[in-house]
Copies of this chain bind each other. A is one copy, B any other.
Amino acid sequence: MPVTINDVAKRLQLSVTTVSRALAGYDDVAHETRLRVIQAAREMGYVPKRAARQLRLQRAETLGLIFPTLGARFSDPFFSEFMAGVGDGASQHSYDLLVSVAPPGKAEQQTYQLWAHSGRVDGFILVRMRIEDWRVAFLTEQAIPFVAFGRTETHPNAPHIGVDGRAGILDLMRHLISLGHRRIAFISAPEALTFATERLQGYRQGLEEAGLTWDPSWLAQGDLTRQGGYQTALRLLDLEPRPTAIVGVNDLTALGAIRAVQERGLRVGHDIAVAGFDGTEASEHSHPPLTTLYQPVYDIGRRCCQMLLEIIVQGHASKPDSLIRPNLIVRESTSPSGNDKGRPAFKDAARPLREETPH
């Protein structure tokens, strides 16, 4: 049933070599022959069998992406957009994308091992980097190509694309401080995650820079979910004196905090400022819209992919790492005019869609 290169060759009274070379675009094939081959292949619906090609070429032309699941529910708004970027980048070079979902741990490690050793993939895209990340150590040691979205403390020179969370949050802190805020709380995340620590640094730096006295109880730990943000914010709102601003380590956390503030009968933007990080679609449409730091996730996915392909094909990336500065998008959640009722006092900053970032 499935048509092979042999079928095509027989029908044309040619050798498989010629067919293969004609299709692959070699220039030592007669022009007319090439046309006949292409024509026949199309008519017969011939497509090279991937497994045969992989076996012969000793490469899979496939990239691997293993998402760590966080809890019972796996619904990271990031995920789909990042994956779209990686997927588009891959298919642009006729590479495929193999995806798996595994909670960090034994099974996860086995999947990396299996995919690499079975030749299922030529390299990996890593996400949700941890400060100490066995994946980086493991892949480096085994000389398996990879590119990470985010850096690792223990292997700072590993190929990666990072987002400067410290600088981003610092921008945000300056914004808040310029609005007059002095008691600024921060809802963090498990500190094993690199980006959480980086963003926390921005927070600390912002406080220091302004020479603000600081209360340790203003620093709380969430879990990156709305629920976590909500519950943590409730506790922060009970403090005396109450913070006037709450910064969430990501949008989901901040969105949860908004809910907490509103349940306490306070007005977001007016009584208390709230801000997040990510620039997810949800941040645009919260009530009030959320001030946040936008990072171009789709684009980062594409670039991770490009970089990985360079490493696979050439053995090294032309630029082994880069640091993207997120854009502060000021919306009503940190504006004195932000409130629960009535029309917005001013238009939102425009948020770029899938734009290419300069390289």
> Residues on A close to B: CB < 8 A?
2-3, 45-52, 54-55, 60, 62, 67, 69, 72-81, 83-84, 87-88, 91, 96-102, 111, 113-114, 117-120, 225-227, 230, 255-256, 258-259, 262-263, 265, 280-282, 284-287, 298, 340-344, 353-354
In contact, B262 and A341 (Cβ under 8 angstroms): yes
- Flag if A117 contacts B47 (CB, 8 Å): yes
Q: Which chain B residues border A263 with CB–CB below 8 Å?
A: 287, 342-344
Least Cβ–Cβ distance between A89 and chain B, in angstroms? 11
The answer to whether A83 and B55 touch (CB under 8 A), given A47-B113, A282-B282, A287-B259, is: no
Question: For A120, A256, A298, which residue has the most chain B Cβ atoms within 10 angstroms?
Answer: A120
A342 contacts which chain B residues (CB < 8 A)? 263, 265
Identical chains bound together, number: 2
**B118–A47 touching, CB < 8 Å:** yes
* A265 surroundings in chain B (CB, below 8 A): 341-342
A53 to chain B, nearest CB (A): 8
A211 to chain B, nearest CB (A): 36
26 CB contacts below 8 A, A to B, read: A3-B117, A47-B113, A49-B55, A49-B118, A49-B119, A50-B51, A50-B54, A50-B118, A51-B51, A51-B60, A51-B119, A52-B55, A67-B80, A72-B354, A73-B354, A74-B80, A80-B80, A83-B99, A84-B101, A87-B101, A96-B98, A227-B281, A256-B285, A259-B286, A262-B287, A263-B344
Is the beta-carbon distance between B280 and A75 smaller than 8 angstroms? Answer: yes
User: Distance (Å) between the CB of A216 and the closest chain B CB?
Assistant: 27
Closest to A102 in B: B91
Residue numbers in B under 8 Å from A52 (CB-CB) = 51, 55
Report the minimum CB–CB distance from A100 to chain B (whole Å).
6
- B81 & A74 in contact (Cβ 8 Å cutoff): yes
Q: Is B87 a contact partner of A119 (Cβ separation < 8 A)?
A: no
Contact of A285 among B97, B98, B100, B226 (CB under 8 A): B226
Which chain B residues border A111 with CB–CB below 8 Å?
91
Known: A49-B118, A88-B101. 8 other contacts (CB 8 A): A3-B117, A48-B118, A51-B55, A52-B55, A225-B281, A226-B284, A255-B285, A263-B342
